[in-house]
């Protein structure tokens, strides 16, 4: 999905009536595991799963919850470093990251983010994608700014909310504030890596290997006690990745299934990525 295959999917505002389908059962409390100060991890089962070749399986959501006041979010880009692509696990190991996830889908040059992307003076992609309605900023440069902020891009003025951040990344929107699914139902589905923010200003790294349509996955995410307010898609299919190197946990997760690309579960290893968002110790 990195080569912009998702571009023609035509996401639109989903019918809110679908939320009722996933709000019937009371979710169990989440058992968070503290990995470090400001860093927690949990897994949870999503009741049921999308129809498909393995419809009887159990869908497991992996969540890394981050308090950006205690750890540092970083954008690592091959275009800013040595031009070398790495798996999420390799990005963690080489740069001392506690966790890493896809920064976003990349273009055919295998370097540039599909949406706008800059980190400090380095601009990976200076073009704002008109159909990409979500952006996140971190590394605030002025006092009084939240340590990380995700915004909806429904008007040109919305970009100004991120002017004070050294790093700004734009991606395809999944959920808009205040927790609304913006996708309509479709047959296409895939493994998913996403980034969300909750009502407390925490950042959530989300990964699920089992394939869902984004309409269905969004409703299931919103039915969980995660408090998600906004979420953006950062990759799907076999390129979707999440790695953790914190506490005693060493974990490398890789996606597989994607409609129209890899319609099976054969991919078991992480793909090399040109860009990731990583979590490091506060400096």
Instruction: Supply the pLDDT for residue 243.
Output: 98
Question: What parts of the chain have a pLDDT lower than 70?
Answer: 1-27, 47-57
- What is this structure's pTM? 0.90
Distances (CA, A) of 101 to 58, 159, 225: 23, 23, 22
Instruction: Supply the pLDDT for residue 46.
Output: 82
Share of the chain above pLDDT 90, in %: 83
Q: H-helix or E-strand containing 242?
A: strand 241-246
Q: H-helix or E-strand containing 215?
A: helix 214-223
């Amino acid at each position: 999905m990195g080569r912009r295959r998702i571009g023609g999917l035509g996401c639109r505002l989903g019918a809110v009536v679908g939320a009722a389908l996933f709000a019937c059962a009371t979710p169990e409390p989440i058992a968070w595991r503290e990995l470090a100060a400001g860093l927690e991890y949990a897994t949870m089962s999503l009741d049921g799963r999308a129809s498909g070749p393995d419809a009887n399986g159990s869908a497991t959501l992996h969540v890394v919850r981050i308090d950006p006041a205690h750890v540092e979010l970083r954008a690592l880009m091959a275009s800013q470093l040595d031009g070398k692509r790495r798996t999420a696990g390799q990005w963690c190991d080489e740069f001392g990251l506690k966790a890493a996830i896809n920064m976003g889908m990349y273009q055919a040059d295998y370097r540039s983010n599909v949406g706008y992307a800059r980190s400090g003076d380095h601009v990976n992609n200076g073009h704002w994608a008109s159909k990409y309605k979500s952006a996140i900023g971190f590394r605030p440069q002025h006092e009084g700014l939240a340590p990380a902020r995700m915004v909806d891009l429904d008007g040109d003025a919305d970009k100004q909310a991120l002017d004070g951040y050294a790093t700004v990344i734009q991606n395809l929107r999944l959920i808009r504030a205040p927790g609304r699914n913006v996708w309509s139902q479709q047959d296409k589905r895939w493994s998913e890596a996403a980034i969300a923010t909750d009502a407390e200003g925490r950042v959530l790294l989300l990964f699920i290997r089992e394939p869902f349509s984004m309409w269905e996955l969004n409703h299931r995410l919103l039915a969980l006690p995660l408090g998600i307010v906004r979420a953006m898609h950062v990759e799907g299919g076999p390129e979707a990745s999440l790695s953790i190197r914190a506490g005693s946990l060493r974990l490398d997760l890789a996606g597989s299934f994607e409609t129209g690309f890899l319609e099976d579960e054969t991919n078991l290893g992480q793909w090399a990525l040109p860009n990731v968002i990583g979590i490091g110790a506060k400096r």
